[in-house]
Amino acid sequence: HAKGEGKNTFSFFDEELNSASRNRIALEQRLRQVLEKNELLVLYQPKISLATGKVTGVEALVRWNSPEFGMVSPLRFIPLAEETRMIIPIGEWVLETACRQQVLWQEQGLSLTMAVNLSSVQFKSPTLIERITAILDKTGMLAEQLELELTESALVEKPNEATWILEQLRSLGCGIAIDDFGTGYSSLAYLKNFPVTVLKIDRTFVRDLAHDSGDRAIAQSVVALANNLDMQTVAEGVEQQEQLAILRELGCAFVQGFIYSRPVPADELPAIVHTITAGDESL
Ligand code: C2E
Ligand code: MG
Ligand code: MG
Ligand code: MG
């Protein structure tokens, strides 16, 4: 026991390392090797236009298939990847993989916009624009087909700098979505100046849409705000027919959610697009 051993407290801390932090350390060590070991994969979730019932795009969502830990959720490893800055190469890999896939589908006659989540760490990187430009060049994807999803927290920290970066992304041709809109701290004054093209209504407001008049008011306000600022709306996490009906009534343009499809591997996506577009009555 380290008690009374003066400065030599190492063994004390060693004993005190609980299993949670041991897991974290193990996770972090393995995370450093995910790219060389080729353990990441990207799933794609369809985005559906409520006006046409057609799939107009997909969102790329990363997964870590670890032989040791199983399928690790991005909610678990993205924060760790951000702390260690591993998110820079990981995010770049996701973006390149998604762009290549978009071009492949395009060549097969499946024209879909590709939404990719961008961490605030990536967003703040001084080489962001160069990296994105290089990936678009390398893959041959049109910037107009790419939509970058950012959270409010990435934007509000330094709003003036953020506006400048967003303007550069917009002049490349990329769309910009604010993800999980309404859950962060973005001020409406800034929102007005951000050259954003899409607001994504967070799943927490969609969940109880049918029974919670507060959530309904929020969803309605986000749609109205987006319309007035010339932005589109996407509702995330739509699971029930009732939610869909309300979102349609509110004038929300696009939806994503398990009611249409979970995120799926690339090879399963074309069949799902056809099923949704054909208007499967089971939905
Ligand atoms: P997000 O970008 O808001 O993505 C939406 C999440 O909701 C996804 O979780 C998706 O699988 C889930 N979802 C979609 N429809 C439904 C539904 O109807 N019901 C429910 N219960 N969930 C639904 P996922 O894939 O686990 O990703 C979680 C978060 O991890 C993402 O939230 C995003 O913030 C982050 N993430 C995922 N991939 C990446 C990535 O490549 N880069 C970065 N920086 N973050 C990523
Ligand atoms: Mg997203
Ligand atoms: Mg979201
Ligand atoms: Mg979300």
pLDDT tens sequence for the chain (283 residues): 444 445 555 555 555 567 778 788 888 999 999 999 999 999 999 999 999 999 999 999 999 999 988 999 999 999 999 999 999 999 999 999 999 999 999 999 999 999 999 999 999 999 999 999 999 999 999 999 999 999 999 998 889 999 999 999 999 999 999 999 988 877 788 888 899 999 999 999 999 999 999 999 999 999 999 999 999 999 999 999 999 999 999 999 999 999 999 999 999 999 999 999 988 544 4
Structure ipTM? 0.98
Task: Please classify residue 115 by burial: count the beta carbons closer than 10 Å to its beta carbon, then call 0-12 exposed, 13-18 middle and 19+ buried.
Answer: buried
Atom of ligand 1 nearest to the CA of 119: 44
Which residues form the pocket of ligand 1, taking CB atoms under 6 Å from any ligand atom? 45, 61-62, 73-75, 78, 91, 94, 117, 119, 149, 179-180, 203, 236-239, 256-258, 263
- Give the whole-angstrom CA distance, residue 50 versus residue 210: 18
The protein residue with its alpha carbon nearest to ligand 1, atom 7, reads 237
- Determine the distance separating the centroid of ligand 1 and the alpha carbon of 54, expressed in angstroms: 21
77 to 30, 127, 167: CA distances (angstroms) = 11, 23, 30
Distance 74 CA to ligand 1 centre (A): 8
CA of 51 to the centre of ligand 4 (A): 23
* Least distant ligand from the CA of 204: 4
Type of residue numbered 90: I
CA gap 159, 120 in Å, rounded:
13
Q: What is the pLDDT of residue 282?
A: 45
Which protein residue's CA is at the shortest distance from atom 8 of ligand 1?
A: 61
Closest ligand to C-alpha of residue 205 is 4
Which listed ligand is nearest to 177 at the C-alpha?
2
- Which DSSP string corresponds to 148-169? EEEEHHHHHSSHHHHHHHHHHH
Nearest residue (by CA) to ligand 1, atom 41, is 62
- What was the pLDDT predicted at 16? 59
Predicted TM-score (pTM) of the model is 0.93
Place of tokens 């046409």: 52
Nearest residue (CA) to ligand 1, atom 27: 74
